[in-house]
Amino acid sequence: MCGIAGFLDPLGLVRNPGEVLSAMTDALVSRGPDSRGVWLDSVSGIALGFRRLAIVDLSPLGNQPMRSASGRYVIVYNGEIYNHRGLRDELANHGARFHGHSDTEVLLAAVDRWGIDAALERAVGMFALALWDRERDELHLARDRLGKKPLYYGLLRGVAPGGCAIGFGSELKAFDAYEGFRPAIDRQSLSGLLRFGHVPAPGSIFQGIGKVLPGQRVTIRYRSPAGFTQSESQFWSAREVFARGIAQPFAGGEAQAIDRLEALLGEAVADRMVADVPLGAFLSGGIDSTAIVALMQERSSRPVKTFTIGIHSPGYDEAPFALAVARHLGTEHTELYVAPQDALAVIPQLGSLYDEPFADSSQIPTFLVSKLARSAVTVALSGDGGDEVFCGYPRYPLGRRLWQVLNRVPAPLRRAAAAALRVSQRAGFDTAMGLGDKLPRMAHILGASNQTEFYHSLLSHWLQPESVVIGADDSRRRARLRSARDPSVEFAESAMAMDLEGFLPDGILVKVDRATMGVSLEARAPLLDHRVVEFAATLPLPLKLRGAVGKWILRQVAYRRVPQAMLERPKSGFVLPIADWLRGELRPWAEELLSPGRLRAEGYLDPAPVRQRWEQFLGGQRNVPYPLWNVLMFQQWLETRQRRLHAQLVPSGAGGSIAAPRTGVQ
């Protein structure tokens, strides 16, 4: 697990490129504290930087940047290829020779032998990579199928008057190493943050900087006088996987399906237990993490190290359930109860830790449990992905039933009802009757013309964030949603596919990646092995959702190892009592960030709707804290970034001069 950064500057516009590359790389030190490597080629203008968190092959032979045996390719790569041993044996049979034992060397040999697309299709794992083709002068950027590892890229203006270079990095903070890099905030992305609590891909919070999508390869070339050209290809798509699975469903019975899932999960867990450093797991005591830890314990010769965070707050504490599971499985369990002040102390760090504004409040306990685990291990397996893959969120059956009801109502009648509800809202009936967000949300739901628009209405925190973000124009998004064609699949299947493309990589996986890498911990998610996802897509819905209870088949795997009574409880999630804190300990902090004068001076958010929402929340008319938390996390991020830019000096001598273009290449 590592951090990567670099740039393509064929015109030589970047001043002091060695210093800039070193500064970019060092900005990612928490992602890779063990070593650093850089490689520059002054002829082509390519610069590749790397920070290493050594997991497999701890020797210098695993260092990057690394050159392929043919000499054609140079790579910086963040992630793990879990099937690298099998690929190594296959490549060795074709004549490949290896100097070390790293998966990076295997990946390069695979590219040498089969080409980049075939190599990516054969790779099982999580990754974000930058691969320079020295023969064709092409930069390939690619990201794993589910989007576990992040990768930003874009035009970097400001490196020279009238010029630009292409930059890339694991996190946005790497881009600040460029002199004059002061991008404008993308107001559409800010609108997306307020709506969903995260910035939706492919955009970023900055204009001109985007994200490589999950399962995507981006190829960038420079051809004078045309300049930079870019092409994209998709080597894996969650939506296509679901379509294929529904078209060719699993043909066996329930018992066969459970056995097959158990075998696939067992293989995925075993693959992710390979490491040359201490390894453990997060354990909440829920279905997902319990299944993973139970499978780990079966494959371990010693008790698995498990970690849980507890909080003394009724309805929010999962630690007792985790402890019961740990005792039953015989793990070496560590739990840490945090006081409210411990959790509150994390909040000032969030702007820097997440680097792009992010507003899932479970980011706080995720960071705390990551910090706890890092005190004992370097790798931790998690249960992330179970809800999206096996229909676990309550919104799936809820949305399914509601969509079925709406489809029985003629569209003109639904539109008329939506209009009436909007009139009632403008008249203040929602506030006067204590309905909170119910009237406007129901108006949006009734007005939805298709499943996609309907599901967006269910997920939205701010239903009309463009009315809050100054200068935001939501017309293109609305037009895109209205024109979306309903897939010929059941609503729950469609919602899971949408979440695997959006909510999972942009929300859940961002939360886990930044929290774990912020303490130099590698997180691995067996439930997001693409082979497991592809199998789950073939399962008929009743094997995942029965009544209002999701993850049926995954529960059966867990029940084979843990008593059912120990796991049956309402889903609570990894959450904190944010509403209570905003009305209590956090109120002075929130008041400062939401002050009308501050909002007006910054010029991004209209103070009127923000203050109205805040006052209604304090008065009890609106009790859901998430819309406000989204605003507060943007304000916190903005304050952190402005403070950093004010203190920042142009890097000078950060890494010394680069002795030769081949520095760091093995």
Can you tell me the mean pLDDT for 226-233?
91
At residue 60 the predicted structure's pLDDT band, cuts being 50, 70 and 90, is confident
Q: Is the pLDDT of residue 320 over 50?
A: yes
Q: Is the pLDDT of residue 600 over 50?
A: yes
Q: Is the pLDDT of residue 622 over 80?
A: yes
Q: Is the pLDDT of residue 557 over 70?
A: yes
β-sheet bridge partners, residue 227: 223
One CATH from 3.40.50.1110, 3.40.50.1000, 3.60.20.10, 3.40.47.10 for 2-236: 3.60.20.10
Query: In this predicted structure, what is the pLDDT of residue 573?
Result: 58
Least confident of 33-47, 150-164, 289-303, 629-643: 150-164
Least confident of 279-283, 338-342, 510-514: 338-342
Can you tell me the mean pLDDT for 599-620?
95
Q: Which residues of 339-353 are buried (b: 16+ CB within 10 A; e: fewer)?
A: ebeebbebbeebbbb
Can you tell me the mean pLDDT for 607-619?
94
From the DSSP assignment, how many helices (H) and strands (E) are in the chain?
30, 17
219 vs 199: CA distance, rounded Å:
23
Query: In this predicted structure, what is the pLDDT of residue 660?
Result: 25
Q: Is the pLDDT of residue 662 over 60?
A: no
What pTM was estimated for this model as a whole?
0.93
Query: In this predicted structure, what is the pLDDT of residue 428?
Result: 59
CATH 3.60.20.10 spans which residues of the chain?
2-236
Query: In this predicted structure, what is the pLDDT of residue 480?
Result: 83
Percent of the chain whose predicted confidence (pLDDT) is above 90: 70
Least confident of 145-149, 237-241, 576-580: 576-580
Can you tell me the mean pLDDT for 106-126?
96
Q: Is the pLDDT of residue 243 over 60?
A: yes
CATH 3.40.50.620 spans which residues of the chain?
237-576
Q: Which residue has the higher pLDDT, 345 or 409?
A: 345
Q: Is the pLDDT of residue 58 over 80?
A: no
Model confidence pLDDT, tens digit, residues 425-464: 665 555 555 555 677 777 778 888 888 989 999 999 999 9
At residue 663 the predicted structure's pLDDT band, cuts being 50, 70 and 90, is very low
Q: Is the pLDDT of residue 359 over 60?
A: yes
Query: In this predicted structure, what is the pLDDT of residue 665?
Result: 33
Least confident of 284-288, 453-457, 568-572: 568-572
Q: Are 144 and 154 in contact (CB under 8 A)?
A: no
Query: In this predicted structure, what is the pLDDT of residue 160?
Result: 59
CA distances 612 to 132, 607, 618, Å, are 52, 8, 10
Task: State the DSSP string of 202-244.
Answer: TB-SBTTEEEPPTTEEEEEEEETTTEEEEEEEES--HHHHHHH
**Cα torsion for 285, 533, 209, 183, to the nearest 10°?**
-20
292 vs 182: CA distance, rounded Å:
44
Give the homologous superfamily in CATH for domain 237-576: HUPs (3.40.50.620)
Report the run of H or E that residue 128 belongs to, with start and end: strand 125-133
At residue 341 the predicted structure's pLDDT band, cuts being 50, 70 and 90, is confident
Q: Which two tokens stand for residue 540?
A: 């008929």
Give percent helix, percent strand, percent coil of the chain, each to the nearest 5: 45, 15, 35
Model confidence pLDDT, tens digit, residues 13-45: 888 999 999 999 999 999 988 888 999 999 999
Query: In this predicted structure, what is the pLDDT of residue 658?
Result: 23
CA distances 68 to 72, 107, 115, 122, Å, are 6, 9, 12, 18
DSSP 8-state secondary structure symbol assigned to residue 61:
G
Query: In this predicted structure, what is the pLDDT of residue 2?
Result: 86
At residue 540 the predicted structure's pLDDT band, cuts being 50, 70 and 90, is very high
